[in-house]
Amino acid sequence: MTLNYDELRALDARHVWHPFTQAGTAPPPILALGARGATIYGADGREYLDLVSSWWVNLHGHAHPAIAQAVADQAARLEQIIFADFTHEPAIRLAARLTELLPGDLDRVFWSDNGSTAVEVALKLAHQYWHNLGEERTTYVAFEGGYHGDTVGAMSAGRASGFFTAWERMLFPVEMVPFPATWDGDPDPEAKEAVALDALERILDRHRGKVAAVIVEPLVQGAGGMRMCRPEFLRALAARIRDAGSLLIFDEVMTGFGRTGDLFACRGAGVTPDLVCLSKGISGGFLPLAATVTTERIWRAFLGEDLTTAFLHGHSYTANPLGCAAGLASLDLLVTAECAQQRRTIEAVHRERLAGMSGIARPRVCGTIAAFDLPGGGEGYGAGIGARLKKEFLGRGLLLRPLGNVLYLLPPYCLDRGELERAWDIIAEVVAGL
């Protein structure tokens, strides 16, 4: 039975529950018929330039033929298999390649299937690592404004993001440190960093020997408003945590796979954390896949003669072969000189265009990510200006999803200079008219 677009829309309205949406007031979703490169084709006959990489997952453009082919080939061979007692070539090869690209001794990959589970795994590994060593370290430390996903552990670590008030009583306590958000022309980033490091020291002192791990989104806090920090801060943070004998978790679910310029923010910042959470771009935006990568030291603490020290955690679609095949094909594209050049071009255009914009506050760029605040638009995710602007931009063919009064671009790397310049022209026009 084929359904026409109106019938599909009616069925969507009748049966589908969309994420992060107030269905009581939201306009009907756009029915996507297909997408190529950075362009999404709507059933409304319109085209939308995807400047948010479809929730930060897409790297090389939609329906990239090389990745599509890799997925199709893999689907014809082995589509899915239980990952306990079995293993398979795409998961093995992708694990080996990721560990080659990550710094230091981040050599062990635990597969899962989305960013929240990658974080949940990291939090649980940290907890059990200490438990297996005979130490009860149960305190976690995270950053104000941080967002780590929507499962209970991830929400607890992101409790200061403002997204989770409805579930406040479900969450476990996490100590919060202010995030030293900085921007181009910030007169005093060091002062904010000193405040953050001081707060961290006090927590580490107060909970001496009890802090299991500190979790941070390195270089850029995503959902909290594309808030950026300096690599110097991450290096100082890592040193403090190392001195305290605690574990450092980098949540690179958003920052991984080239978003911040370097392949991973940890590499760019010159820090090797104890655990790294990866997802989103890991499959080039094709399939749900995630990894929590850790060191031999942590891996060894889980070895034993029986299940008591084993990590009894797993998801049905762990290490899905299609996702891993997509990941391998995506990595082939990511490590090319051409892709590095595309990322540099995006960064250069962001910088040029932001420098020429007026009526904005806190302009900032980190690799392919550009953001700025709109003064006077209210603050926080729910700020009304965000919804108004989203609608305005969609009307002009741009898929942009402001985070409250923060407007940001996080495009796929295939976006060419002309497309990006056109997007910035429209943004400048809309901002000037506010």
Ligand X SMILES: Cc1ncc(COP(=O)(O)O)c(C=O)c1O
Question: What residues line the site for ligand X (CB under 6 A)?
Answer: 114-116, 119, 147-149, 217, 222-223, 251, 253-254, 279
CB of 38 to ligand X, least distance (A): 19
Instruction: Report the alpha-carbon distance of residue 325 to residue 33 in Å, rounded.
Output: 25
Judged by beta carbon, residue 123 or residue 407, the one nearer ligand X is: 123
Judged by beta carbon, residue 217 or residue 274, the one nearer ligand X is: 217
CB of 161 to ligand X, least distance (A): 10
Beta strands in 24-152 (DSSP E): 32-36, 39-42, 47-50, 106-112, 139-143
Best CA proximity match to 237, nearest among 368, 335, 143 = 143
- For residue 351, give Cα distances in angstroms to 257, 396, 406: 21, 23, 17
CB of 253 to ligand X, least distance (A): 3
Judged by beta carbon, residue 117 or residue 132, the one nearer ligand X is: 117
CB of 164 to ligand X, least distance (A): 13
Judged by beta carbon, residue 109 or residue 349, the one nearer ligand X is: 109
Give CB contacts under 8 A, 24+ apart, made by 30-38: 30/394, 31/5, 34/62, 34/63, 35/62, 35/63, 36/61, 36/62, 36/63, 37/61, 37/62, 37/412, 37/414, 37/415, 38/62, 38/411, 38/412, 38/414, 38/415, 38/419
Judged by beta carbon, residue 204 or residue 400, the one nearer ligand X is: 400
* Residue facing ligand X at closest CB distance: 115
Judged by beta carbon, residue 210 or residue 401, the one nearer ligand X is: 401
Q: What are the tokens at 246?
A: 């605690």
CB of 266 to ligand X, least distance (A): 13
Is residue 157 within 8 A of residue 215, CB to CB? The reply is: yes
- For residue 336, give Cα distances in angstroms to 121, 330, 350: 31, 10, 22
Is residue 92 within 8 A of residue 64, CB to CB? The reply is: no
CB of 278 to ligand X, least distance (A): 10
Backbone φ and ψ for 47, nearest 5 degrees, come out as: -115, 145
Is residue 318 within 8 A of residue 111, CB to CB? The reply is: yes
Q: What are the tokens at 85?
A: 């007692």
Best CA proximity match to 95, nearest among 109, 80, 116 = 109
Q: Which residues contact 59 (CB under 8 A, 6 or more apart)?
A: 53, 257, 258, 281, 284, 285, 330, 333, 334, 412, 413
Instruction: Report the alpha-carbon distance of residue 74 to residue 33 in Å, rounded.
Output: 24
Is residue 62 within 8 A of residue 224, CB to CB? The reply is: no
CB of 73 to ligand X, least distance (A): 25
Judged by beta carbon, residue 114 or residue 128, the one nearer ligand X is: 114
Judged by beta carbon, residue 70 or residue 282, the one nearer ligand X is: 282
Judged by beta carbon, residue 116 or residue 260, the one nearer ligand X is: 116
CB of 360 to ligand X, least distance (A): 23
Judged by beta carbon, residue 95 or residue 119, the one nearer ligand X is: 119
Q: What is the DSSP string of 249-287?
A: EEE-TTTTTTTTSSSSHHHHHT---SEEEE-GGGGTTSS
Place of tokens 């026009």: 429
CB of 146 to ligand X, least distance (A): 8
CB of 43 to ligand X, least distance (A): 26
